[in-house]
Amino acid sequence: MRSARPAGNVNRYYYKDMKYNVLLLGSGGREHALAWKIAQSPMLGDFYALPGNPGINAIAEGIEGKVSDFDLIRRTVVEKNIDMVVCGPEDPLVEGLKDFLKSCPDVKGDLLFVGPGKDGARLEGSKDFAKEFMARHGIPTAAYRSFTAEQRNEASAFLRSLRPPYVVKADGLAAGKGVIISQSLEEAEESLEHIFGGQFGSAGAKVVIEEYLDGVEVSFFVLTDGHGYLLLPEAKDYKRIWDGDKGLNTGGMGSVSPVPFCDGEFVEKVRSRIIEPTVKGLESENMDYRGFIFFGLMNCGGDPYVIEYNVRMGDPETESVMLRIDSDLLAHMAAAAGGDLSGQTIKVSRQAAVTAIVVSGGYPEKYGKGYPVSGLEALTDITVFHAGTAMKDGKLVTSGGRVLALSATGETIPDARDRVYSRVDTVSFDGSFHRGDIALDMINWPAGKR
Ligand code: AMP
Ligand code: GLY
């Protein structure tokens, strides 16, 4: 920061003339969307991304390396005089990056860090911890029990006491693959066998078995300073590879915001039953949580239940959500990380946003890399976020399964959809593929209501 910040409390007037040197961690579409939003702030000083990607590095200076290299992050923070670290993915948070940086004598004491410490990151890092946290604070979620490998027989007995479909989860981080939903008891038993047998490594040392929640999923996001919070726009993501939500699970094929069933009444239930008890619970357990919380919710007949917590923003939800925030996210993040959001109000656009992801043929299974990407220069009327791209010999090529996120806003969801889909064929690379039905179910839900 170019001017000193008063110890303890901070307020909005103080922030006004400040410039922040920001280091953004991560390399996906989510991080590009965050970078795009951060870059619009008048409060941005120097901007770095570690490692970033070709899209991000057009607006932030890229630092080569891995987000798991904490010492590289420390050196970057010190050498580049970073004021704020924004952590995109969950792994560094779960591994204790914030605690590490705060313990380094050469890192300044007032470094702002957007994301929880190791304690708060358990909300995502351990499903068992998250479930017990929800039980302690009366937060609605599916009934569950957790078991270690020694309790294999009890786990089977518990499965037999439930009705299908059966939900079996590895306790720890399993790159989004640790949840197995089966229609038959035999399949559920097999999943137990696989998880305890080491399919997900140490993430499967414990297993969570829970009741199946029948409903429609929605993602809610808040930015908290540990006491209060700002509610970001909600979104829905589309996880399966094929239209109609068929086929294999992916990292996300598209998203839409707003979600029409999230009317005033539903949002009020989410705030009072889920968000507020969560933030209060974190505070009462002295976790000093400063950063984003992502609530993966199931709307079961009008009542929200928590499926999971994440301690970061969602991907590809962020690509739609950022398009709908009209206020200064960098100011909000500075206030949250500084411990006082009370002077901040978030301004959410009334427009709708839709994102379609263009993926490599074969994804989420085997796919090729290094295909030249063409057509991007023509896409000036929608927003393109890079997810899996790289520069090779001065040319943009594919480097991942999910390659580009195409996002647009419109007066209504159909308008935003039309804008994205009218342009989706403009970009191309060998074997490119996208879903054609992103947000279609939300247009008809429920009969035109928004
Ligand atoms: P998670 O990794 O916990 O988010 O679970 C991945 C996906 O599995 C969720 O997005 C849901 O689609 C589904 N899922 C997880 N838990 C349940 C549940 N109790 N009932 C129904 N679906 C679930
Ligand atoms: N879109 C779901 C996630 O980011 O985990």
Q: Look at residue 11 in the predicted model and tell me its pLDDT.
A: 46
pTM: 0.93
Q: What is the CA 407 to chain-centroid distance, rounded?
A: 16
Residue 249 confidence class, pLDDT cut points 50, 70, 90: confident
Pocket test for ligand 1, best of 131, 305, 308 (most atoms within 8 A of CB): 308
> Measuring from atom 12 of ligand 1, which residue has the nearest CA?
217
Query: Using an 8 Å Cβ cutoff, are 374 and 425 in contact?
Result: no
Residue 74 confidence class, pLDDT cut points 50, 70, 90: very high
> Measuring from atom 3 of ligand 2, which residue has the nearest CA?
314
Q: 29 C-alpha to center of ligand 1: Å?
A: 22
Site residues for ligand 1, CB cut-off 6 Å: 142, 167, 179, 181, 210, 212-213, 217, 296, 307-308
φ, ψ of residue 150 to 5 degrees: the values are -65, -20
Determine if ligand 2 sits within 6 Å of the CB of residue 407: no
Pocket test for ligand 2, best of 221, 317, 322 (most atoms within 8 A of CB): 317
What is the sign, positive or negative, of the torsion defined by CA atoms of 149, 155, 159, 160?
Answer: positive
Task: Give the number of the atom of ligand 2 that is nearest the alpha carbon of residue 312.
Answer: 4
Residue 446 confidence class, pLDDT cut points 50, 70, 90: low
364-415 pLDDT, tens digit per residue, is 999 999 999 999 998 999 999 999 999 999 999 999 999 999 999 999 999 9
Query: Using an 8 Å Cβ cutoff, are 385 and 408 in contact?
Result: no
Torsion of Cα atoms, 170 then 237 then 38 then 93, to 10°: 0
Determine if ligand 2 sits within 6 Å of the CB of residue 328: no
Pocket test for ligand 1, best of 250, 306, 307 (most atoms within 8 A of CB): 307
Query: Using an 8 Å Cβ cutoff, are 127 and 311 in contact?
Result: no
Q: Look at residue 14 in the predicted model and tell me its pLDDT.
A: 47
Q: 184 C-alpha to center of ligand 1: Å?
A: 17
Determine if ligand 2 sits within 6 Å of the CB of residue 318: no
Task: Give the number of the atom of ligand 2 that is nearest the alpha carbon of residue 315.
Answer: 4
200-231 pLDDT, tens digit per residue, is 767 667 888 999 999 999 999 999 999 999 99
More confident residue, 1 or 267: 267
Determine if ligand 2 sits within 6 Å of the CB of residue 310: yes
Query: Using an 8 Å Cβ cutoff, are 310 and 296 in contact?
Result: yes
Q: 233 C-alpha to center of ligand 1: Å?
A: 21
